[in-house]
Structure 1
Amino acid sequence: MDSNSILEEIKNQNRFVYKKFFEDTYKELVHYANSYLFDQSWSEDIVQEVFIHIWEKADTLQVKTSLKGYLYAMVRNRCLNFLKTLKITDDAKALDMQSMISSDYNLEFFSDEDLKIIHHQLLKAVEGLPSKMQQIVKMRFIENYKYVDIAEELGVSVNTVKTQLQRAKSKIAQQMAIIIALLIAQ
């Protein structure tokens, strides 16, 4: 069942579809929330709140992408809002940034000022990509779409998505290596 069908069924108060959708996505959303909050209980609470919101407000939701992408964005936003209430901020956007480059660099040794520079340069590198590649990168790393969802949304094959992401990562890595080397050399 595609996102639009699921949302339609939820709007029609179809508890079976809602329950199935919940069961299919709950664990991965809790895992995602936990990457922000580092607390299982809080993560579960936030994801449950999101699902309650979906059920209660289904008839007024304006989902422009996929329902799953919409859920990920809601979970991320609620996690960040929750962290703000605890007076924990991510001014350097290190949480978003780490998802893009964490496999290549260890960012914990950089100062907050250096993280801001790295983040700014990372955004510039992404903005410098060709438009379709840039869109795929943003959908994957910022909106947390899966390869299949990106392919479906853009009308391309999964292999095209993977190829574009690999090329983007290579281009970004080249630029980021220079920036990080300069920061380390300071």
Structure 2
Amino acid sequence: MQLSEQEIISAIRQGDERIFEATFRKYYQSLCNYANSILKEMDEAEEVVQNLFLSIWEKRTDLEISVSLKSYLYRAVHNHCLNRIKHLKIREEYQQYATNFYDSSYESVSQTVMKNELEQKIEEAIRKLPEQCRLIFRMSRFDELKYHEIAKQLELSPKTIENQIGKALKFLRIELAEYLPLIIICGTTLQIVQ
């Protein structure tokens, strides 16, 4: 039996994992291709789409879609891509600014202390994650493995990997909230918590 879009949205809102997964599978590849046409980087595109679906699932009880589901998903991917481009541009401008005003081979004592403190706080926060979540997060952020590579190594589904990364990021953002200005200044560790 075919469900109408409103029935699909309603089912997702009520937490129907089967309908959500079917929706994910139906739109995932075409949304990745669309995001890639904007970002020109398939890994980035996949991450944008995965984060979108993760966000939809996390906020499913408040899900309100007044247009078609397909239109909603494409518009959301479009907006996420533009935000990603803007974010990368800001980071690039800051790095260029920092390079122009600081000798890259020189690092002041206070910068070293701040950076070391930040790295220590990040490591402490990561250690607070549940064991499997911590392992998956480290494989993603430190070993730079893709979700499907992690899933294959740990014999888990890519969806489980995606959920674990989402949980880890949510936890770390909360845990490291007071260090956000320092994370932005240090820049290098920024990619760990995004």
State the TM bucket, normalised to the shorter chain. 0.3 to 0.5
Q: Which has the larger radius of gyration?
A: 2
What TM-score do the two structures reach when normalised by structure 2? 0.44
What TM-score do the two structures reach when normalised by structure 1? 0.46
